[in-house]
Amino acid sequence: MSARIPSDRAGAQGDAPARKRRDPAHDVAHSSPHEAADNAIAARLDEAVSYHKDLLFGPFFDMLAASDDLPAEMARIVRSLQVFFNKWTVEVILALSQAQATRFGQLRDQLAGISGRTLSQRLKELEDQGLVERRVHDERPVRIDYALTERGVDVAILAMPLVLYLRGAHRADA
C-alpha cells in the first residue's frame, strides 16, 4: 500500500480550513518595504508549494512506501525532528546562522529572554544532532565558541523560507 496522497485529494475541501490567498499588490501598497519583501517571498513560496507539491513530497512518500517497517521509520523521523519543536531551537539556529562563530554570552544577549540553562540545553541538543559545533580554544582564559556545522547551515537555509512563509501567513490571517 502506497503512502502517497493522491494529488486530487491534496487540498480538498474538508481536509483543512481554506487559507485566504494573498494579494501581493495589496500587500505592497499597505506595508513597509521589509513587510512587502516578506509578503512577496511568502506568496512565491505559496505558489511553489502548490505547484510542486508532488515534486516536494514525492521522495518522502516514496521513502515511506519502500520502508519495511513504517512505524519504526516514522518514529525515527519524529525523533530526528523533535529537537526543532523545543522552544528556542529555531531561534538559536537562526542566531548562529548570522555569524561565523559566537560565544555563549553573545548568543544569550542576542536571544532576549532565554535563560543560560535553556541556551546550554539547546546548544547541547543541537550539538548531539550534528548541527552545532562547540570549539574550545587553547588559550588563557579558555575561550569557547559555537558555530553551525555544514549540516546546521543547510538546516538554517532550509528554515528561512519556512520562517518567511509562516510570517506571511500570520500577517494574512491577521
Q: Which residue range forms the structural domain that includes residue 96?
A: 86-153
Question: CB of 123 within 8 A of CB of 148?
Answer: no
Residue 81 within any structural domain of the chain: no
Nearest in space to 133 (alpha carbons), one of 151, 109, 158, 116: 151
Residue 94 within any structural domain of the chain: yes
> Average pLDDT in the 135-153 region?
92
Q: Mean pLDDT lowest for which of 26-30, 62-66, 136-140?
A: 26-30
Q: Residue 82's Cα: distance from chain center in Å?
A: 12
Rounded CA separation 22/86 (Å):
30
> Average pLDDT in the 58-73 region?
83
> Average pLDDT in the 138-145 region?
90
**Side-chain half-sphere exposure of 81, counting CA atoms within 13 A:** 7
User: pLDDT class for 171, splitting at 50, 70, 90?
Assistant: low
Residue 16 within any structural domain of the chain: no
> Would you say the C-alpha torsion 107, 165, 86, 64 has a positive or negative sign?
negative
Residue 171 within any structural domain of the chain: no
Residue 163 within any structural domain of the chain: no
User: pLDDT class for 13, splitting at 50, 70, 90?
Assistant: very low
Residue 45 within any structural domain of the chain: no
Residue 7 within any structural domain of the chain: no
Residue 101 within any structural domain of the chain: yes
CATH number of the domain that residue 100 is part of: 1.10.10.10
Q: Is the pLDDT of residue 148 over 80?
A: yes
The kind and range of the H/E element at 32 are none
Domains in the chain: how many in total? 1
Q: Residue 4's Cα: distance from chain center in Å?
A: 23
